[in-house]
Amino acid sequence: MKNYKLSTRLFSEIFWKTIFGNTDSESHTRKELLEEINTLNKLRLKAEYNTGSISFAGSWSLYSLIKYFEPSKIVEVGTFIGKSTWSMAKALDELQNISTIYTCDSSNDLTIPWKGRTEIKQFKKTTSTSMLNQISDKIDFLFLDGRINQEDTSILSNLLHSNSIIVMDDFEGMEKGVANLFALRRMELLKNHFLIYPCKQNYLYKLGFSSHSLTAVLIPTTLIELSRQDTV
């Protein structure tokens, strides 16, 4: 007898259909999120290091992932103008869970003008290594939009748990998302995590996005369940 096998490519397509299917009815929130994160562009004027921010498709991917998995301890590397932080915080507020986002940026000290219920603990002008050394709680959801340092993986080995989800932006070619994956793959704790490629552009177009997403996910196989019917 042979096993039934599902490839990363096919699984990724099903994954994003399920994740976006769960927030399909939230067109009003989607519009609102786009307006809100666009207001953050003005922070660029005060940035010491003015760089790229996530696309709206990436922002909605993060929002939808949080809505689906409902993590409570979230850590982000790479705050910059806070579009990604805001997207995750908005999803947590919608869930009405009491949650905290820890976020750091090594080269910027911009303040995200967030007024919601979710606590955002900003580590300004702080490296990922320094922030991670100050965290003691276990991390449910790690979002990497900066390049992690070599020392970070050993700190993360103690902060992540077997069901932690890791999300990497800029996952293409030789960009930082791919470099981060190589660094994380050395961790014993993540050896059973399954890689999800970013959502394909033609599917995003179908959903009405004009931007693309470079958001990849490492999901523990223990969080994957076969079910008799769609649960969305």
Ligand X SMILES: C[S@@+](CC[C@H](N)C(=O)[O-])C[C@H]1O[C@@H](n2cnc3c(N)ncnc32)[C@H](O)[C@@H]1O
Nearer to ligand X, 144 or 220 (CB): 144
Closest CB to ligand X belongs to which residue? 146
Of 188, 163, 180, 190, nearest in space to 216 by CA: 180
Least Å from the CB of residue 47 to ligand X = 8
**Candidate residues 17, 124, 147, 212; the one interacting with ligand X per rule CB under 6 A:** 147
Least Å from the CB of residue 26 to ligand X = 20
**If residue 115 lies in a helix (H) or strand (E), which one and from where to where?**
none
Nearer to ligand X, 4 or 49 (CB): 49
What are the Cα distances from residue 47, in Å, to 40, 64, 69, 128, 170?
12, 28, 32, 19, 21
Nearer to ligand X, 20 or 102 (CB): 102
Q: Which of residues 117-136 bind ligand X (CB under 6 A)?
A: 127-128
What are the Cα distances from residue 82, in Å, to 108, 142, 163, 196, 201?
11, 15, 26, 24, 24
Q: Which of residues 43-102 bind ligand X (CB under 6 A)?
A: 49, 51-54, 77-78, 80-84
Q: Which residues bind ligand X (CB under 6 A)?
A: 49, 51-54, 77-78, 80-84, 104-108, 127-128, 145-149
